[in-house]
Amino acid sequence: MYKQITTALLGICTYGAVMAQSTTPNTIIDGWDVLMKKCEQKNPNFRADLYEQNKQIEQKADAYMQTNTANKTTAVKEVPIVFHIVLNQSQINQLGGTSGIAERIQSQIDVLNKDFNAANTDSFLIPTAFKPLYGNMGIKFSLAHKAPDGSYSPGYEIITTTKSGFDIQSGTAGTGYYCSDAKFTSSGGADAWDTKKYINVWILSITPMGVGGVGTPPPYPAYGGTSMFPWNEQGIAISYMAFGKRTNGSQFFPLQAAIAGRTLVHEMGHFFNLFHPFGMSTMDNKTCTDDDGVTDTPLESAPTQSICPSFPLLDTCSKTFPGVMYMNHMDYSADTCRTMFSKGQAARVNVELASGGYRDQLGSDPGLIYWWSSSIENVAANNEVSVYPNPATNACTINCNDVVAKRIDIINNLGQVVHTIIPAANETILHADLGNLAKGVYIIKCTFAETTTTTKLMHY
């Protein structure tokens, strides 16, 4: 049952408190708490409105769980995600440059897909008492390979900014909070792609130090609707210090509680309207009357802030075994010991993805992910670049007609770059070895100083 939100709501969360805590190296602060404080300031009836809103969502989630169980629905919903990397050159270098960023993006996608599909290999750490509640969201996150203008995209863009960071609660563009400056090109950031069809993630330096990220919830009326969370600012901001999963000890990860890629997992939960297990009272739920609106997550008096507690963890709201679900992705424990969403949380997320939900357009256009799959046969050869022989067998020649390309990418029908050639100075005729590529249809994408051309290649 739903436990009513009370006057304890957001009682002690202040921006100053966030800044004070951010100096603790093993504590990651969630910008969500700041957002909820803003909601309360804007809407005098926030508590009551939020209670009614969550009661309705919980009813829909319970109905979803019953229907899903009865029909044994296992379909996976695939959604496009794009990363906007907005960092200065020094910060880009800390991540290992463009190749290091690409590696982190791939590791981050892997973590998202495992955690949102109950496929994480560390699920064996879930205590036996909670294992029956282990929930599968059934969401596959795929890099968006089609940009809003119809051009090919690797699923991310790197914007070199002159700014040292973006403040979570102070900005000059848009709403002026949750790092809004990073979401507009005009203020040194990157404009969002259609936020109803893409999940936009901004990777940046967030101030104050120690804030791991902030995900905007759907623009429900209780939150202030589109005036508080307008569509062109919907998405997630993640600190570059907590981005991706550490795969080797030399990688830059100063926030030791955020080395497993689960800062984005947590904020993605907020993006789909999940709360913390301790409810909306941010740091203090000692009266145990605040809640997250999910049936199967135990009440919790305060966030779990130790690195990885011992099971069972009991508190004043869950005094008896099995206690607090500290291993839940929406708690505050270190991401190396956060290993599960609950079935109730999975149902709540799927309410947002279902018809009529605020995220129901995500995945509505698979062409945003598999750019070439539906249109590859219609790609015409461009006169500026010729490829021969075509069809080819084990190799081909790419003639750029006396123009030096910056790079040449060979792209498969899933929109994945499978081979890249960087021409030498004055090199306009290049040899491409196709011996390691599967037979099929490919796109040759040539990037020049001021334009990009594409040509279809048949490899048999």
Where in the sequence numbering do the catalytic residues fall? 267
d(CA 137, CA 224): 27
- Please state, as a whole number, how many other Cβ atoms lie within 10 Å of the Cβ of residue 123: 15
pLDDT at position 384 is 66
**What was the pLDDT predicted at 28?**
67
Lowest mean pLDDT among 27-36, 44-53, 211-220: 27-36
CA 452 to chain centre: 29
H or E, element range at 280? none
Higher pLDDT, 44 or 178: 178
CB atoms within 10 A of CB 440: 12
pLDDT digits (tens, 9 = 90+) for 169-187: 889 999 998 999 999 999 9
Over the stretch 276-334, which tens digit does the pLDDT of each residue have? 998 875 556 778 888 888 989 999 998 887 678 999 999 999 999 999 999 999 999 99
Instruction: Provide the 3-class DSSP secondary structure of residue 395.
Output: strand
At 27, is the pLDDT very low, low, confident or very high (cuts 50, 70, 90)?
low
DSSP single-letter state for residue 460: -
List all residues 6 or more positions away from 72 whose beta carbon is below 8 Å from its beta carbon. none
* Of 212, 273, 227, nearest in space to 38 by CA: 227
- Whether pLDDT at 3 is above 50: no
Confidence of residue 135 (pLDDT cuts 50, 70, 90): very high
Tokens of 18: 């966030």
Q: Over pLDDT 70: what percentage of the chain? A: 88
Using CB atoms within 10 Å of the CB of residue 32, give its burial: 0 to 12 exposed, 13 to 18 middle, 19+ buried.
buried
Predicted pLDDT at 377? 47
pLDDT at 1 (0 to 100)? 37
Q: Could you give the CA distance from residue 216 to residue 309 in angstroms, rounded to a whole number?
A: 29
Q: Which CATH class is domain 376-459?
A: mainly beta
pLDDT at 6 over 60: no
Question: In this model, does residue 445 exceed pLDDT 80?
Answer: yes
pLDDT of residue 286: 77
pLDDT, tens only, 61-75: 988 888 876 555 557
What pLDDT does residue 9 have? 31
> CA–CA separation, 446 vs 421, rounded Å?
10
The pLDDT of residue 282? 55
pLDDT of residue 422: 92
- In angstroms, how far is the first alpha carbon of the chain from the final one? 61
For residues 164 and 416, the model is more confident at: 164
Q: Which residue would you say has higher pLDDT here, 45 or 186?
A: 186
Residue 370 has pLDDT above 60, yes or no: yes
The two structure tokens encoding residue 446: 């040539």
Indicate if the pLDDT at residue 14 is higher than 50. no
Predicted confidence (pLDDT) at residue 11 exceeds the cutoff of 80: no
- CATH architecture, domain defined by 15-367: 3-Layer(aba) Sandwich (3.40)
Over residues 75-123, the pLDDT tens digits come to 789 999 999 999 999 999 999 998 899 899 999 999 999 999 999 999 9
Going from N- to C-terminal start, the domains of the chain cover: 15-367, 376-459
User: Mean pLDDT over residues 430-436, rounded?
Assistant: 90
pLDDT band at 33 (very low <50, low <70, confident <90, very high): confident
Highest mean pLDDT among 36-45, 82-91, 150-159, 168-177: 82-91
- At 372, the pLDDT band (50, 70, 90 cuts) reads low
Q: Residue range 160-173: average pLDDT?
A: 93
